[in-house]
Amino acid sequence: MSKDTDERSPKPKRFKRSKKQEKEGDTPQKIDYTIALAGNANVGKSVVFNELTGSNQIIGNWPGKTVERAVGKLLFESKCIEVIDLPGIYSFSTYSMEEIVSREYIAFEKPDVVINVVDASVLERNLFFTIQLKEMNVPLIVCVNQIDLAKQKGIIIDTDKLSKALGVPVVSTVAIRGEGLHELMETAIETAGQKTVTDTHTLKYGAEVENRIEKITEDIDNKNLDLGYPSRWVAIKLLENDPEIRKLVEAQSREVVNHAYALAREIEEIHNEPSFSVIASERYFLANQFAFGAQLESKIKITFAEKLDRLVTHRVFGYIVSALVIGGLLLWTFVVGDFLSGLLSNAFSFFQPVDPQTSGTLTSILWNGAFGGIVAGVTLVLPFVIPFYMMLSLIENSGILTRVAFMMDSAMHKIGLHGKALIPMILGYGCNVPAIESTRILETRRERLLAAFAITFAPCAARTIVILGLVAVYVNIWWAIALYGIDLLVMFVLGRLAYKVVPGEASGLIMEMHTFKVPSISVAAKQTWSRTKSLIYVVFPVYIIGSAAIQALYALGFLTPIANALAPITVFWLGLPVIAGVVLIFGAVRKEFVLLMLVAIFGTNLAAVLTPIQFVILALVSMLFLPCLATLTVLLKEFGAKATTTIALANIVTALIVGGLAYRLFLPFL
């Protein structure tokens, strides 16, 4: 057994970035080596990337979260190394943009080393992709990560045996603790220094497949085709009937393509199934052999993580846990946010009361408005957004979020979606824009459109600011929670209607669920800051400038005519003050403008001008009304003008109908 994996061996050397390399100016400009990290989703690849580079890239636990590769730099033993974190994928097919991006980068950019990160506890499944990387004939290292979790399951990996079977270096790591990364980088430098790849260890398939691969490879070599990919890899792809590779080869030699097609037909006749399926089976057979040969099992104990997994995915208790997770996330945000908001409000009131100024010099009005914007941002945005993002990060990184998505699969099918759609919908509670972009993880345009439609009703951070800033602060937490319940009901009803209207069939759920793990506080903190800082950079300037401008416009009388024109809807139907019409229009630009305008016009003591029922109805209508301009823009880009217009109209009509009905229903209780 290899000394890296022997439980009696010394503890692996932990990787630490030096203080020197933390300083950007000390990193040499010249890149000595380029390393690409490749592998399946949820194997810890992004953790390896962050540990090596100190990058602030967000780490998530769902597949396909990043199409564009992430880049970082590392100073190791006086060498400047560029590290590329490729998207998490399972094959080099052409079914997704992530797979195309990864294979084209590896083939054409030619990194000095490709590090294939695999999960030690599910080695056979991960080696399916490793075999495809071997076929690419690249300088390859296999990083067997999460060996600690594998040991908890009674699995020990002999890296020496695995290295001998694959014909490439193999290093074991626990990336989240930095263990093994030093040896990994030493091996990477050594491999990169060899410059050329001589594959003397070609992985062979069964005779009927291997013979045909060799014939096509010989055809490609004899015709001297310039394809950019290794000949053997192209031959295998032609047998798999890969459309992109077939077009690439056909542009130079139709004869090779025709011969490959005929050979693929022969394989299909022998096995009575599609040739790509036959080759996939061959790869899995090899992966099974390699994993079985390198994997040693000790006495298996049922771990706490496995017991927890059974509870969370139980057909009865799983739904209770899912409800507790989602409800707990929101309740945590409300309780902690309300406490922090109170502390900050008292602190600012001690220094200077915040009251609007609608008379006097223009300079004094602008300054007063700007200060009110600062107070609104500090007391009504940060206290609620930071706790939400922190808890969401911990839930993501623990692995529980994918279990919740799995349990919600049957319920999501009621609106034509599967459980995987819950991930972008929960992301929508942070921001609708990246949530709609992340619907690309869904398989069909219909599913993406239905999910995007539902997401436009999800109370994002900006809407949450309005709900909490108006209802939780001035009414009570329970009415704020009630608004979230109403929102979920609206999303379900409208999703069900859209499911009936939009043609197509719902698909089944296939989702990777990685092992439960204790989330890293430091990783969650980095992720929280990465998400929060973009909000701060946008919200605070908008609040400061916008509050000053709105207060000036109100003082000069520009807003009153618009408000009066909309009074039949806002006053008669919704029971709101006259100014609410202008407030809702500004809120369509950015949702925070609803709160911002009220503070700019009336000050932070809004209870003096609005009744409890008006707080609730204004927050409800703002939550369901038109999504912000940024959301409409991404909808237009993803789905076109017709779908975007339909979704926008549905939002407006829903907000007005639900708001008017809620006003009449809630009035006796508030």
Which residues sit in the known binding site for GTP?
39-46, 64-68, 85-88, 145-148
Q: Are 195 and 166 in contact (CB under 8 A)?
A: no
Q: Is 482 exposed, middle or buried (0-12, 13-18, 19+ CB in 10 A)?
A: middle
Nearest to 359 by CA among 506, 555, 177: 555
Report the SS3 class of residue 297: strand
> H-helix or E-strand containing 117?
strand 113-119
Q: Are 405 and 387 in contact (CB under 8 A)?
A: no
Measured distance CA(50)–CA(30) in Å, rounded: 21
Q: The dihedral of CA 494, 496, 501, 506: what is its sign?
A: positive
Report the SS3 class of residue 179: strand
Measured distance CA(213)–CA(204) in Å, rounded: 10
- Tokens 């001297």 locate to 224
Report the SS3 class of residue 546: helix
- Other CB atoms within a 10 A radius of the CB of residue 655 amount to 21
Helix/strand/coil (H/E/C) assignment for every residue in 198-242 = CCCCCCCCCHHHHHHHHHHHHHHHHCCCCCCCCHHHHHHHHHCCC
Q: Are 57 and 395 in contact (CB under 8 A)?
A: no
Binding residues for Mg(2+): 50, 53-54
268: tokens are: 């299909």
Q: Are 114 and 139 in contact (CB under 8 A)?
A: yes
| CB crowding 16-32: b at 16 or more within 10 Å, else e | ebeeebeeeeeeeeeeb
569: tokens are: 């809807």
Q: How far is CA 564 from the centre of its chain?
A: 44
234: tokens are: 């192209």
Measured distance CA(166)–CA(132) in Å, rounded: 12
Binding residues: 39-46, 50, 53-54, 64-68, 85-88, 145-148
447: tokens are: 């599913």
- Tokens 């969401």 locate to 392
